Amino acid sequence: MVINPGSTSTKVAICKGEENVLQKNLSHSPEELEKFPKIADQYEYRRDIILQWMKEEGYTTAQLKAVVGRGGLLKPMPSGTYMVTDAMIEDLKIGVQGEHASNLGGMIAKSIADQEGIHAYIVDPVAVDEFDDVARISGMPEIKRRSLLHALNIKAVAHRVAKEMNKDVNELNLVMAHLGGGISIVPLRKGKMVDANNANEMGPFSPERTGGLPVGDLAKMCFSGKYTLAEIKKKISGKGGLVAYLGTNDAREVEKMIASGDAKAKLIYDAMGYQIAKEIGAMATVLEGKVDAVVLTGGIAYSQMLTSYIKERVEFIAPVIIKPGEDEMIALNEGVNRVFSGQEKAKIYEEEVK
């Protein structure tokens, strides 16, 4: 069973060997999710929806051989498939690098796996860190730039693009843009994610996050006495971006507003595209302009409106390849199959992180 909690949905699948036999995207509205003060509090709610879905589809947990979840904001770690251990669960619960829906992946997977006495895994979590040292410097010694990104989908889609180009990913330089509830723009140098905007806090704004903000104004807001730290965090991630301006995290709804002549919706949607294009340009400089392709992926890459806006602005860098949606469910299943077939050994979190 594959479980992928995102900021706007939980994707679930049942796989048999390499084949994905059943998949469902369980959507969550902002109203549903904002009942929970912390993301970790959504654990039972999302797990019960998954178990209910399984039941409705005629499956039982006793039929499962393993459960794999999307990994979360753990300590910076190498890429790979990891067994979910108690030490990992502790870090997922407290959110060692912050709060994010993907923290729930390992937690829900282990809870279901424990019931059946089978193993739970995570694959290429959002905390995979392959940064160049120069990319870690923020400008304020107390604060480091961190690698928090859509590692799983970026790696999976990059491999697919390389295959289509008859190349190995290690021969290519790609700027990968994952456009989902959060947005990651990543320069992939010979298969390595050497920089990224940090989808939670920096770079372009996204359906539900502010991205980078003017820091002076943010500091003033923090000390205005009007907000608690938790409220400020929620304004940055959860209630930022499209949600803050237009009241929805659904890009399709925004496009309907634009189609009905809503000028504000058009301005905000254009601004998101504009910021994405600017970040792609910045990451092309990380690769010194030697870019084989710019790749747009994630849910919003289905949007003709947004991808053509971005394409017009970045096509001068390299050809733009559009791979809408994500390969995360397949990539999670493949990670576990590599362990089952003996191609790869499952890593142990506590042994890999400092």
Ligand X SMILES: CCCC(=O)OP(=O)(O)O
- CA-CA-CA-CA dihedral for 141, 281, 199, 196, to nearest 10: -50
Q: Is 303 a binder of ligand ADP (CB under 6 A)?
A: yes
Using the minimum distance from each CB to ligand X, give the nearer residue, 6 or 80.
6
Residue 54 interacts with which of ligand X, ligand ADP, none, CB < 5 to 8 Å by class: none
Using the minimum distance from each CB to ligand ADP, give the nearer residue, 119 or 181.
181
Lay out the site mask for ligand ADP across 64-103 (x = CB under 6 A, - = otherwise): ----------------------------------------
The answer to whether the beta carbons of residues 148 and 159 sit under 8 Å apart is no
Residue 145 interacts with which of ligand X, ligand ADP, none, CB < 5 to 8 Å by class: none
Taking the C-alpha atoms of residue 137 and residue 127, their distance in angstroms, rounded to an integer, is 17
Lay out the site mask for ligand ADP across 9-38 (x = CB under 6 A, - = otherwise): x-----------------------------
Q: Which region, judged by CB under 6 A, interacts with ligand ADP, from 6-14, 155-163, 169-177, 287-295?
A: 6-14
Computed on alpha carbons and rounded to an integer, the radius of gyration of the chain in Å comes to 20
Q: Which region, judged by CB under 6 A, interacts with ligand ADP, from 165-173, 177-185, 216-224, 231-239?
A: 177-185
Q: Is 251 a binder of ligand ADP (CB under 6 A)?
A: yes
**What DSSP element (H or E) covers 140?**
strand 137-140
Tell me the number of residues near ligand ADP by CB under 6 A: 18
The answer to whether the beta carbons of residues 66 and 109 sit under 8 Å apart is no
**What DSSP element (H or E) covers 269?**
helix 263-286
Q: Is 152 a binder of ligand ADP (CB under 6 A)?
A: no
User: What order do you get walking across the sheet with 173-179 strand by strand?
Assistant: 192-193, 183-189, 173-179, 293-298, 320-324
DSSP-derived pairing of the beta strands 19-27 and 9-16: antiparallel
What does the binding site for ligand X look like in residue numbers (CB under 6 A)?
6-7, 100-102, 126, 148-150, 180-182, 199-200
